[in-house]
Amino acid sequence: MKTLIQKIHVEEQYSFACRTYRTPNFETNWHKHEEYELILITEGNGAVLIGDHIGEYKTGDIFFLGSGLPHWFRKSRQCRIGSAVVLHFLKDFWGASFLQMPEMKAILKLLESNNKGISLQKKLRKNITELMLQVEKSSGIHRIYLLLNCLQQIAGSRQYDVLTKAFDAGINNKANSAIEKIFTWSFRHFLENVTLSEVAAEAGMSIPTFCRFFKRNIKKSYFDFIKELRIGHACKLLRETNDPILDICYASGYNSWANFSKHFKQLKEIPPGTYRRHFKNADYQI
């Protein structure tokens, strides 16, 4: 297994990294790095795991991830293309005292916030998209200006969703190897009738040990994790197909409409039919 700690390569002529990663380089394991990350999805969709958050990503989404926050982007289908513009920077790449200037107060607060992972929305997402595409093509001091502009706009806005707060990323390499094995197995089987005995055996643990291990490292029960994967899959089908909602219920791993409807409303705060209708409104943000 690859190590949890990812080394970010920065070209000699730059002080921070910004490049496009496209299949097969888009695919990564469950990993973390010291650098902060801005990631703009330019192609594809699938599931995203950020700290203890499990959700969806799609073309056009932008996520801002704090230093040391574990994450993983998984395509909905392995045959599809995944692509993203990814910007990585260290907190002090511009010098230890730069962020202490009064003019940098808002950016410093953003970088030190407990909001370790956020998803940008609405006009903020549109503005940052334009800036990130410029960063990748820029050089010299203009590149740093564009990054500062990104951070200042994020720091001064409330147009984002907080995905995870103050996540404890202290997961060692042995635990990371087990987590990656669990995730890989779960993505293959979450639409089936998953049992704790099956996934615990895959992880090489007893059921009680597995349940404690998963809850300690992912901050939720394994079946809550499966529930979020299934509802995320249902949301994709609601958006991308005209299939009857009852068919989508069964296609998302449920054999009971009551459970599907209950879980959907728990996670999305609205019924599946309302979700589908709202999505057809261009102003609706998921």
What integer pLDDT is reported at residue 170 of this predicted model?
57
Taking the chain, what is the end-to-end CA distance rounded to the nearest angstrom? 34
> Does the structure show a pLDDT above 60 at 171?
no
Q: Which amino acid, one-letter code, is at 161?
A: D
Cis-peptide into 24, omega within 30 deg: yes
The residue among 145, 149, 164, 141 whose CA lies nearest residue 64 is 164
> Does the structure show a pLDDT above 50 at 3?
no
> Does the structure show a pLDDT above 50 at 1?
no
What integer pLDDT is reported at residue 5 of this predicted model?
60
Other C-beta atoms closer than 10 Å to the C-beta of 9 total: 8
pLDDT digits (tens, 9 = 90+) for 136-152: 999 999 999 999 999 99
Using pLDDT thresholds of 50, 70 and 90, give the confidence band for residue 45.
confident
Return the top range by mean pLDDT from 16-25, 49-58, 277-286. Answer: 16-25
pLDDT digits (tens, 9 = 90+) for 203-241: 999 999 999 999 988 888 999 999 999 998 999 899 889
What integer pLDDT is reported at residue 175 of this predicted model?
72
- Is residue 137 exposed (0-12), middle (13-18) or buried (19+ Cβ within 10 Å)? exposed
What integer pLDDT is reported at residue 279 of this predicted model?
76
Using pLDDT thresholds of 50, 70 and 90, give the confidence band for residue 123.
very high
Other C-beta atoms closer than 10 Å to the C-beta of 242 total: 7
pLDDT digits (tens, 9 = 90+) for 183-212: 889 988 999 999 999 999 999 999 999 999
Q: Mean pLDDT over all residues of the chain? A: 88
What integer pLDDT is reported at residue 77 of this predicted model?
75
Percentage of the chain lying above the pLDDT 90 cut: 63
The angle at the Cα of 18, spanning 15 to 24, to the nearest 5 degrees, equals 135
Extended beta strands in the chain, E state: 17-22, 36-43, 46-50, 53-57, 62-65, 71-75, 83-89, 115-120, 160-165
> Does the structure show a pLDDT above 70 at 252?
yes
Domains of the chain are 17-165 (2.60.120.280), 173-279 (1.10.10.60)
Mean pLDDT value across residues 107-125: 92
Extended beta strands in 91-187, E state: 115-120, 160-165
State the Rg of the chain over Cα.
Answer: 20
**Cα dist from 55 to 44, 119, 165, whole Å:** 14, 11, 15
Number of C-alpha atoms within 13 angstroms, CB side, residue 42? Answer: 17
Using pLDDT thresholds of 50, 70 and 90, give the confidence band for residue 120.
very high
Query: 166 phi and psi, to 5 degrees?
Result: 45, 45
Contacts of 238 (CB under 8 A, 6+ apart): 245, 248, 272, 275, 276, 279
Mean pLDDT value across residues 74-100: 89
> Does the structure show a pLDDT above 60 at 282?
no
Of 236 and 252, more confident: 252
- Is residue 108 exposed (0-12), middle (13-18) or buried (19+ Cβ within 10 Å)? middle
Query: How far apart are alpha carbons 62 and 83 in whole angstroms?
Result: 12
Kindly report the length of the chain: 286
Under a CB-based contact definition with an 8 Å cutoff, are residues 129 and 62 in contact? yes
What integer pLDDT is reported at residue 283 of this predicted model?
46
Query: How far apart are alpha carbons 217 and 208 in whole angstroms?
Result: 14
What integer pLDDT is reported at residue 168 of this predicted model?
62
